[in-house]
Structure 1
Amino acid sequence: MISPPQTKHSVLRVQCSTSSTPHFVSDQNNTTLRRSANYQPSSWRYEHIQSISSEYEKESHAEERDELKEQVRMMISQLTNDLEKLEFIDVLQKLGVSDHFVLEIKNVLQHVSAQSKHMLKAKNDLHTYALQFRILRQHGYDVSAEIFTSFQDEKRNFVWDDIKGMLSLYEASFHSMEGETILEEARDFCSIHLKQFVKENKDSEISIMISHALELPLHWRIPRLEAPWFIDLFQRRSNNNDVSPALIKFARLDFNILQVTHQQDLKYTSRWWKEIRDGQKLSFARDMPTENFFWGLGMASQPELSYFRREMTKITSFITIIDDIYDVYGTLQELELFTHVVHRWDIETMDILPNYMKKCFLALYNSVNEVASAIFKHTGFDIIPYLKKAWGDLCQSYLIEAKWYYNGHVPSMQEYLENSWISVGGPVALVQGYFLIQDYAIIRPQGVQYLQGQQEYPNNIIRLSSTIVRLANDLASYKIGDHNYDDVAKSLKCFMNETGASEEEAYEYVYTLMCQTWKKLNEAVHNSVFPPSFTEIAMNLARMAQYMYQHGDGHGEDSHTNLRMISLLDHPIPITSTNY
């Protein structure tokens, strides 16, 4: 992993989120009337971000954490049967600490996988089957979904009434790939019975876990972001000796210590953002330093990946700025010029741009070239052609949408999807992220070839992950009542216009399409030529979309997302928390 280059301080794309109807304002030279989206200042003030501190910077906390880590390692070694080991791995993952025990987990899963043809001994235990299936498939092992046929009758109806087993099967079903109809049937069956159980047993602990799963399955969640919720849950269960108090304390300390690293990353990116936004006079763009940082944190939270998070924040910030130029601020003629300049990637051509665009392009050019220079220094590999193409493709997709808007054109669903998986910003983030995430001793030629030809591969990981981001964002716009069909057409409008469907039918179609895309992504990751470090950030990008858009537009001052960011970045987890 390379170190950050020495600098002065050693999103993905969403539709506009505004406080009122856009209006027109004059530009810097008072020569052009421009739309303004009335973006509100960030609730995360620069002064507050820079003032954040934590007592967990003290070395004594790290020493205690390491002592507890050895106790947990001993617990793993003392587990006697496969089911206990799988359940312990499940708890480690939910608490966000499984990265500390990679070797131990690998050894357990290799043994379980070797025995999987014979299955675990509890042959009538749906929970055992489902847990083994989920964890093995999550870690890349080949395991057939046909193991669940033993829980169906001759008419392929599931005949199981154990609520713990149904919850486990429900979670396992989200690891399905195309063609695995038994998992679709399992999800439908479990969903009906789990919802009914919650209605009848609202206050039980299992109901709390079921409700959490029905909101979003584990496979669509990011362990780091979920850790506070599960730490709180298991803290309560530790009173009944279900989970070791030492394990809970280890998870809490580990979370709080890692939070210090994330706070330092946020401070760095906040300083960078203030310098770019104020220095380049880009005040027309959304002021979202923490939201932009949050995407990178969700994609890669490990302590050693500060450089990735810092650079990913710059990427999502530029995506946001350029999105606002194309969506709101720029004229169509200016957008065509800007697209041309980005494709050329030559500062000698930027004289044709208006002043605000010159400043934006120069800041982008310098930032991207700085990363490329650092990587070239360590590897001798020139990544500029890949980054230039990614940014050029993004601006071209923005220009297409701008022309749709100005011409009043509503694209077909297929036409929309072919463009919007690029315009959402995922390819830019993942192409650059590919080079940021790896050990640069080796850059795999086969992986680079896939990066270069990403648009030619319909089941490419980059395309699938980005499509999920796009569809999740479109669904969020519907959920918050953003039915402004005078804006750039989104998937729901395209489907309604093409088929005559109602809004509810369009929502159901787009949600189903998103679930189908998840199946394709599961399979693409399972068969990927990319290194696991990259496939994980690609999966996490899709998961971040589910997370950010769960309750609305999380990239636009959504209150739920803001509370989550406060929990993850500003408040350490106390001994007893109240995260319900």
Structure 2
Amino acid sequence: MISSLNPLFTTHRSGVIAQQFFASSAAASINSVSSLKIAACSKTKLVDQSPLRQSGNHQLLSSDFNHLQSLKNDYAEEKYISRCEVLKEQAKMMLDQEMEVVNQLELIDDLQRLGLSYHFGDEITSVLSGIYNRKSMNKMRNQWGLYATCLEFRLLRQHGFDVSQEIFDCFKDEKGDFRPSLCEDSKGMLYLYEASYLESENEESNLEMARRFAAKTLKKNLDEKRVDQDLVALVQHALELPLHWRMMRLEARWFIDIYEERSNRNPILLELAKLDFNIVQAAHQNDLTYTLRQEWWRSTCLAEKLTFARDMMVENFFWTVGIISDPQRGNGRRILTKVVALITAIDDIYDCYGTLDELEVFTTAVERWDVNSIDQLPDCMKICFLALYNFVNEMAYDALKEQGVNIIPYLRKSWADLCKAYLQEAKWFFSGEVPTLQQYLNNAWISISAPAFLVHAYFCVDYPINKDHLQYLDNYHKIIRCSAMILRLTNDLGTSPESEVLNVGDVPKSIRCYMKETGACEEKAREHLRFLITEAWKQMEEAQTLDSPFSSTFNGIAVNLARMGLCMYQHGDGHGHQNSEPRDRILSLLFEPICCLA
């Protein structure tokens, strides 16, 4: 459990989290869409001696295997890849050009938001290092306006440079408040708001003050129509969810359209962004069709035998795209898609199928990693255990063969911890007990499955395996715990009020735990969860920049997993019950290329 989240009921200033953050999650009404398949069931009652079996009411994107396996994307062709390489060289030349510091920062910001920065990692680091190390920077900062100062602060902090929040002191009056005259600068306010989310744990309240001030000002300026027209969409977008919390691939798709409408757009960057998006999409489609053609999911028979479970390989794959979008990481996406599929199936066994006795047997079998422990289980649970057993052993076999490291103990522990957390939730459900919020969260950051996912992700991306890292992996380093906590809390905020408050067919979650313990109303409970999310982000920022032993790649994966939580649960339960918003996001990222003239 994240230690600094322990004083859960301490009076606090909630600050300003994105104005529309999860505003629609309470509604969570599901529209009937023709392309959705619905597996709607109801909780069954105990009849005679039959065990209680629940069901899931899952609404999912249709997984038409035959159609998906026949996908063909023209942007995988050599002519597009060659054109992309030419444009990349031209963009690289821009980064190498001498220009004003503010123009350099704007170029880097555009490259990041357009989804292109992964091509220019070394060049971007070099430019930012030069800016950071320049001896005259302190003098230059005093000459800059709010916009440029905020842009510099955000980009430098994002890339791990130690920049003090005192950089904003020159914009305050003698009382320590931000000067009222700044309110007229909507662009500066927007960039102050975005910069304020690069806040670390144990910092003074400057950035929180900046966030409240900027959010209040931006909302007021929007209401009074005092925001320049070319900024309105950006301001609304930021207030809905800040840039630093957004899933980067989805943000790139959105920003390409915004950038195209800008009067100062660079035609080279625009063409490159569109072309690169489509080429990467083709790579993602190839990974998806490979996963389906491999017949792994069908060969497990989980969809056939676990009729109560979610059969959703496209949705499972979508998670991996949000977490590892780099086209060169296809093997990692393929492996992690299997991990998400197994997590989903096992989650449904604990939530929707197993009796308490059966779940205890299943948990023990995973802890012992013993196929002889499953004899008393129903066939579907035996098959699920064996699918997990075979997958983990195969992954460990490849690691031992290729790198000489036995990773079975680490994979086993992650699954055992997950199943024990699932079992605890099942015990609460069957007993009717509602735990305290602290008791719930002590278990729930594991039951959200983030630690298990990230352990597997580490072995997919860190090559060769660094044995010095394994103890931090085994103990779930702070960056893993923070990512897991954010995913858990966003998941709980995305739960519909009908299911959450009335406890229909689900374990009690954080909203209900807090309401029962404190007597708070639902909105106050949601406000408290938003506060905890902000605190966990601060801790993750510090863990990423100061004390994480892992590679920047793995740190980025942990952060991206938290971002995916915000993406998937921003408008309700985007994983288990898809309404049109998450469905449209999946279609736009995986199946709909951007129109290009080239």
Same fold (TM > 0.5): yes
Q: Structure 1 pair 120/368, CA: closer, same or farther in 2 (3 Å)?
A: farther
**Pair 1:567 & 2:588 matched:** yes
**Pair 1:465 & 2:483 matched:** yes
One-letter amino acid of the structure 2 residue matched with residue 276 of structure 1: T
Contact 2:310 2:345 in 1 (8 A): yes
**Pair 1:295 & 2:314 matched:** no
Contact 2:495 2:573 in 1 (8 A): yes
Alignment of 1:52-451 (within 5 A): 52-115=71-134, 118=138, 120=140, 123-159=143-179, 160-161=182-183, 162-178=185-201, 179-201=203-225, 204-237=229-262, 240=263, 242-270=264-292, 271-277=295-301, 281-440=305-464, 443-451=465-473
One-letter amino acid of the structure 2 residue matched with residue 536 of structure 1: G
How far is the alpha carbon of 1:185 from its aligned partner? 0.2
Q: Distance in 2 between matches of 1:540 and 1:46?
A: 28
Q: Structure 1 pair 332/470, CA: closer, same or farther in 2 (3 Å)?
A: same
* Alignment length (residue pairs): 550
Q: Distance in 2 between matches of 1:207 and 1:279?
A: 46
Contact 1:94 1:226 in 2 (8 A): yes
Secondary structure of the residue aligned to 2:375 is helix
Q: After superposition, what is the alpha-carbon deviation per residue over 1:543-563, rounded to whole angstroms, capped at 9, x for unaligned? A: 000111111111022321110
Contact 1:120 1:129 in 2 (8 A): no
Q: Which of these residues, 491, 495, 508, is aligned with residue 477 of structure 1?
A: 495
How far is the alpha carbon of 1:479 from its aligned partner? 6.8
Bigger mean CA offset, 64-73 vs 220-229: 220-229
Q: Distance in 1 between matches of 2:134 and 2:60?
A: 57
How far is the alpha carbon of 1:58 from its aligned partner? 1.3
- Greater RCO (Cα-Cα under 8 Å, separation 6 or more): 2
Q: After superposition, what is the alpha-carbon deviation per residue over 1:486-526, rounded to whole angstroms, capped at 9, x for unaligned? A: 43111111111111111111111111111111101111111
For 1:12, the equivalent position in structure 2 comes to none
Q: Structure 1 pair 189/478, CA: closer, same or farther in 2 (3 Å)?
A: farther
Secondary structure of the residue aligned to 1:530 is coil
Q: After superposition, what is the alpha-carbon deviation per residue over 1:87-130, rounded to whole angstroms, capped at 9, x for unaligned? A: 10000000000011112111101101102752535624111111
Q: Distance in 1 between matches of 2:258 and 2:164?
A: 32
One-letter amino acid of the structure 2 residue matched with residue 282 of structure 1: L
How far is the alpha carbon of 1:199 from its aligned partner? 2.1
TM-score, normalised to structure 2, is 0.88
Bigger mean CA offset, 135-144 vs 275-284: 275-284
How far is the alpha carbon of 1:32 from its aligned partner? 4.1
Contact 1:554 1:561 in 2 (8 A): yes
Contact 1:131 1:172 in 2 (8 A): yes
Secondary structure of the residue aligned to 2:80 is helix
One-letter amino acid of the structure 2 residue matched with residue 170 of structure 1: Y
Contact 1:469 1:545 in 2 (8 A): yes
Q: Distance in 2 between matches of 1:180 and 1:370?
A: 49
Contact 1:479 1:552 in 2 (8 A): no
Q: Structure 1 pair 543/262, CA: closer, same or farther in 2 (3 Å)?
A: same
Q: Structure 1 pair 279/552, CA: closer, same or farther in 2 (3 Å)?
A: closer
Bigger mean CA offset, 80-89 vs 341-350: 341-350
One-letter amino acid of the structure 2 residue matched with residue 174 of structure 1: Y
One-letter amino acid of the structure 2 residue matched with residue 568 of structure 1: L
Bigger mean CA offset, 551-560 vs 535-544: 551-560
Q: Distance in 2 between matches of 1:180 and 1:236?
A: 39
Q: Distance in 2 between matches of 1:223 and 1:173?
A: 18
TM-score, normalised to structure 1, is 0.91
How far is the alpha carbon of 1:44 from its aligned partner? 3.4
Q: Distance in 1 between matches of 2:70 and 2:205?
A: 53
How far is the alpha carbon of 1:484 from its aligned partner? 3.4
For 1:537, the equivalent position in structure 2 comes to 557
For 1:11, the equivalent position in structure 2 comes to none
Q: Structure 1 pair 504/31, CA: closer, same or farther in 2 (3 Å)?
A: closer
Contact 2:300 2:387 in 1 (8 A): yes
Q: Distance in 2 between matches of 1:492 and 1:272?
A: 37
Q: Structure 1 pair 65/122, CA: closer, same or farther in 2 (3 Å)?
A: farther
How far is the alpha carbon of 1:376 from its aligned partner? 1.1
How far is the alpha carbon of 1:19 from its aligned partner? 7.0
Runs of 4+ in 1 over 3 A off after TM superposition: 17-21, 30-33, 38-42, 119-122, 277-280, 478-484
Q: Structure 1 pair 278/316, CA: closer, same or farther in 2 (3 Å)?
A: closer
Secondary structure of the residue aligned to 2:118 is helix
One-letter amino acid of the structure 1 residue matched with residue 398 of structure 2: A
Contact 1:390 1:428 in 2 (8 A): yes
For 2:542, the equivalent position in structure 1 comes to 523
Q: Distance in 2 between matches of 1:353 and 1:71?
A: 62
Q: Structure 1 pair 124/73, CA: closer, same or farther in 2 (3 Å)?
A: closer
Q: Which of these residues, 551, 554, 574, is aligned with residue 554 of structure 1?
A: 574
Contact 1:176 1:522 in 2 (8 A): yes
Q: Distance in 1 between matches of 2:207 and 2:52?
A: 55
Q: Structure 1 pair 253/384, CA: closer, same or farther in 2 (3 Å)?
A: same
Unaligned runs of 5+ in 1: 1-14
Aligned-pair identity (%): 47
How far is the alpha carbon of 1:25 from its aligned partner? 8.7
RMSD of aligned Cα (Å)? 2.2
Contact 2:284 2:590 in 1 (8 A): yes
How far is the alpha carbon of 1:33 from its aligned partner? 4.9
